[in-house]
Amino acid sequence: MRKRTGDSGESNAVTGDRQFITSLQRGLDVLRAFRPEDRVGLSNGDIAARTGLPNSTISRLTYTLLKTGYLLYDKETGRYRMGVPVLSLGYACLSALPIRDTAQGYMQDLADECGEGVQVALGGRVDFTMIYLAAARSKSVISLQLDVGSRISLARSAMGRAYIAASPPDEKAALLEGIERRTDPSLWPSIHAGFARAEEEIATRGFYGNIGEWQPGVNAVAVPFQSKQGNTPLMAFNLGGPASYLPKDEMLGTYGPRLVQMVETLRQSAI
């Protein structure tokens, strides 16, 4: 008997797991393709490019998500935007992370104490990116303009490398393999060295310092964080900003230890 595309039979043929539904995974991949900066929306071609799925598959998935309200369609531009039901999922996720509300006050205090140009953030992993779950800025005009929902590189950012350093061995191996596949071979040695450096620095001094490796002119320090609650995912905190306001010596000598101190205070709480 022929198995229908998208049912659990197809999933079993691909993954060996009869409980895994590939069509559901693909639908979620479509939603994950959208980013906060996609203000004008995405076309089917844009989504296909980001997910690696065929255009014909994307057309069926976007049609279904449109009919269920998870996507909205603009006939004039031929582009999709996320619908309101997606927002309800996001808020449900955030409300299930008590660390976010607990940490916000500590993060804001640290940002204010560190002064001009500083942003402190908490993030979790989504595929090969880190997504901001909470953010606090110093009271200044100059700072990184990233907020809840913003995504940054898992491979190059301080937050991403701190996350990988603290990941369980199986997850770490899978992430490194996936990142290598997505990386220009000429750049892989330096990126791989960055992962090794992050692991060593976190083991020896509690934080990792990323000096201009995520973006030129931006310095950051990061610390991984695992809540005491067993059902909470691994996360990471970072503190960063323009190098002109946050020079290397201050990042490594002052701000890194202060971020470690903040995270240790949170670890001692009942979260």
> Rounded CA gap, 184 and 239, in Å?
28
pTM exceeding 0.95 = no
In order along its 271 residues, the chain shows pLDDT tens digits of 333 333 333 444 455 678 888 888 899 889 988 887 788 899 999 999 999 999 999 999 999 999 999 999 999 999 999 888 887 777 677 666 778 888 999 999 999 998 888 999 999 998 899 999 999 988 765 656 678 888 899 999 999 999 999 999 999 999 999 999 999 999 999 999 999 999 999 999 999 999 999 989 999 999 999 987 767 889 999 999 999 899 999 999 999 999 999 999 988 875 5
> Rounded CA gap, 193 and 213, in Å?
12
User: What is the amino acid identity at position 271?
Assistant: I
> Rounded CA gap, 64 and 1, in Å?
26
Q: What is the DSSP string of 205-228?
A: HS-EEEESSSSTTEEEEEEEE--S
Using DSSP, state whether 237 is helix, strand or coil. strand
At 10 the pLDDT is 43
Q: Which residue has the tokens 């990184």?
A: 144
| Positive or negative torsion for Cα 179, 180, 183, 189 | positive
Angle (CA) 191 196 200, round 5°: 145
Q: All domains of the chain, ordered by start, with CATH?
A: 8-87 (1.10.10.10), 97-267 (3.30.450.40)
Token pair, residue 103, equals 């940490």
Spatial neighbors of 230 by CB under 8 A, at least 6 apart, are none
Report how far Cα 91 is from the mean position of its chain's Cα atoms: 16
> Rounded CA gap, 209 and 157, in Å?
10
| C-alpha neighbours within 13 Å on the C-beta side of residue 106 | 21
Residue pair 146/134 in contact (Cβ under 8 Å)? The answer is no
Residue pair 35/151 in contact (Cβ under 8 Å)? The answer is yes
> Rounded CA gap, 149 and 115, in Å?
24
